[in-house]
Amino acid sequence: MSNAKRKNRKKFIWLGLIICVGAGVGAYFYFRKREVIITVQTEKVSPRSITELVVANGKIQPVIQVVINPEVSGEITELPVKEGQPVKKGDLLVKLKPDNYLAARNSAQATSRSGIASKALAQANLTKAEIELKRAKDLAASKLISESELLDAQTSFDVMKASYDTSVHQAEQSVAALARAEDDLAKTTIYAPMAGIVTKLKSQRGERVVGTALMAGTEIMTVADLDEMEARVDIGEVDVVLIQTGQVARLEVDAFRERKFSGVVTEIANSSKTSGPSGSSSSSSSSQSQEATKFEVKIRVQEKETFRPGMSVTAEIETRYRSNVLAVPIQSVTTRVPKKTNAAPAQSSSIVNTARASSDGPKKDGEKRDRPIEVLFALEGDHVKMVPVKRGISDDAYVEITEGVKEGLEVIAGGYKAINRELEDGKRVKVGPPEEKPEKDEKK
């Protein structure tokens, strides 16, 4: 009886084990079947030529332009040019009412003549006093006049000499005043300093303009040479260190969308300019964080075209170039926080081992989490392997990989959500076209 019970107990044990194993195997295949398989797109690592670009926006402006400001004040009596009119060097641009300056010139002329006459009179008096002094000295030597008479002659000469010196200085002042008055009168007429186009006309006939010698007066017009144009773009402080004079640029002007123009960097500003939503000079941290520091870069346009000053332009400046380098689609490279494992998994034959120690810098005090490292995902069968990489330069489509991959390695190139959020080391995937998003029903 005991043997029968013992046999039945063994049967129940084996039956229980079979049921448990079957349940486990069933659960494994059940959950494996329910595992979400991510659809991805792939591309193989291949050699490419990559040109790194810095893109910036700005305006087209003439290389040489002159703002016409009066140096004297007055009413505009003649304005024979119009905006957009070509002018030659020496053409009349503006004429101011000269009446006051003409009167001042005439007064200065009269004063100058008077000064010259006074100088001549003083010269004559000095000559006479000099002769009398010589005669007095001769008579005094012969004891024919007293010492007091000789002293009077000497004093008279000294007075005439001082009077002559004063008249000389006054004559020089009157001549200088006349030259200044004539210069002011000449400044009432303004001629074109260069050949070009009147690109901006801000004043009109009959308007009174202000001009001084110490500061710029009223802006009347601008004359520019439109044969030589340049793009003036603003570049952020991070990218400006990559810019050098002589670099080649491609220019796209909004008014000529079907054309690309070539340019060369000619000038990089040393001083920055800040721009941002905060227009006040407040030193609060919030306003400072919103300001953007930019530097103006000038790019000479190589082609001749009917550009107008102020046209919007987008510049693509070629900063660095690499030929025949291994590259992957730019969206293939993402970041992940490395997981700590006791043993490193075996690497594929198409993958170059990369030391993670170079990616993990020294940890700061109190830092608990590892720093993210740059990785891409390589396709191995029906799953992916996370590969740490080092990147070089990039263009708008591809990025150079300097360490971590070999030519021919098939890497995940899409979709964007999978690469940046969903994929992990060992994740199952399938290669297929991008999934189309269902169109939302239009609201009636």
- For 11-76, the DSSP string reads HHHHHHHHHHHHHHHHHHHHHHHHSPPEEEEEEE-EEEEEEEEEEEEEEEEESSEEEE--SS-EEE
Task: State residue 347's pLDDT score.
Answer: 43
Candidate from 153-167, 305-319, 332-346 with smallest mean pLDDT: 332-346
Q: Contact, 94 vs 76, CB < 8 A?
A: yes
The yes-or-no verdict on residue 33 having pLDDT over 60 is no
Question: What's the pTM value of the predicted model, to 2 decimals?
Answer: 0.67
Counting residues of the chain whose pLDDT is more than 90, the rounded percentage is 58
Task: State residue 35's pLDDT score.
Answer: 64
The yes-or-no verdict on residue 137 having pLDDT over 60 is yes
Task: State residue 285's pLDDT score.
Answer: 41
Q: Contact, 155 vs 183, CB < 8 A?
A: no
Give per-residue pLDDT as tens, 158-199.
998 898 899 899 989 999 999 999 999 999 999 999 999 999
The DSSP code sequence of 302-316 is -S-----TT-EEEEE
Is 38-48+324-341+348-360+370-431 CATH 2.40.420.20? yes
Written as one letter, the residue type at 243 is: I
Task: State residue 410's pLDDT score.
Answer: 95
The yes-or-no verdict on residue 313 having pLDDT over 90 is yes
Is 69-96+188-227 CATH 2.40.50.100? yes
Counting residues of the chain whose pLDDT is more than 70, the rounded percentage is 80
Task: Tell me how far apart the alpha carbons of residues 330 and 327 are, in angstroms, rounded to a whole number.
Answer: 8
Task: State residue 29's pLDDT score.
Answer: 56
The yes-or-no verdict on residue 278 having pLDDT over 90 is no
Question: Which position has the higher pLDDT, 13 or 211?
Answer: 211
pLDDT band at 352 (very low <50, low <70, confident <90, very high): very low
R_g of the chain computed on alpha carbons: 45
Give per-residue pLDDT as tens, 378-434.
999 999 999 999 999 999 899 999 999 999 999 999 888 999 999 999 999 999 888
Task: State residue 398's pLDDT score.
Answer: 95
The yes-or-no verdict on residue 356 having pLDDT over 60 is no
Task: State residue 359's pLDDT score.
Answer: 42
Mean pLDDT of 26-48: 76
pLDDT band at 438 (very low <50, low <70, confident <90, very high): low
Give per-residue pLDDT as tens, 200-239.
999 999 999 998 777 778 999 999 999 999 999 999 999 9
Is 98-187 CATH 1.10.287.470? yes
Task: State residue 28's pLDDT score.
Answer: 55
pLDDT band at 360 (very low <50, low <70, confident <90, very high): very low
Enumerate the domain spans of the chain.
Answer: 38-48+324-341+348-360+370-431, 69-96+188-227, 98-187
The secondary structure element, H or E, covering residue 199 is strand 196-201
Mean pLDDT of the chain: 84
Task: Tell me how far apart the alpha carbons of residues 253 and 315 are, in angstroms, rounded to a whole number.
Answer: 9
Question: Which position has the higher pLDDT, 345 or 269?
Answer: 269
pLDDT band at 26 (very low <50, low <70, confident <90, very high): low
Strand intervals (E) in 257-397? 261-268, 273-275, 292-301, 312-329, 334-336, 373-380, 383-388, 390-394
Mean pLDDT of 94-116: 92
Mean pLDDT of 145-154: 85
